[in-house]
Amino acid sequence: MATCAAIKSDSTRCQAQAMNNDDKCYTHSPATAEARARTNRRGGKTGGRGRPKVRVDEVYKLADEQIEGLKNRTTDPRKSAIMVQWANCKLKAIETERRVIDQAELEQKVAEFERLYKQRRTPGTDSDYPYGSGVWVG
């Protein structure tokens, strides 16, 4: 397969594989610009759905430390139980935050759909005519 024809900012040629029916890769093709922009808006949210993975990793780390401490008998089980309760509280907060972000994204999408719907229903536009023909049939 051919390599990408794009020249990178450091003046070297891109070494990625070109897409079918295009002389550029996904990253450099103008045809994929909109899809890349959509993907980039979600960038940095490696945990998915808006929650940073780092926060969940902290809980995993705490759990591993507590398990190891209980095995070695270096951790007081009563203190460990309290830490687990706080970890559960933290996980619930992360889940709540994720739901809030999901809700905000849905509200934004609904508002956009409503705006598009109203725009299409505005009198004097092609939406008054079936099939956008400009001629009323009916």
Return the SS3 of 13: strand
- CB atoms near residue 62 (< 10 Å): 16
Mean pLDDT of 101-124: 84
Decide if pLDDT at 134 tops 90.
no
Name the β-bridge partners of 7.
13
Read off the tokens for 86: 């706080």
Residue 101: C-alpha distances to residues 8, 37, 42, 45, 138 (Å):
35, 19, 12, 12, 45
One-letter identity of residue 131: Y
Note the pLDDT tens digit of each residue in 17-75.
888 888 888 888 888 888 887 777 765 554 555 555 667 788 888 889 999 999 999 99
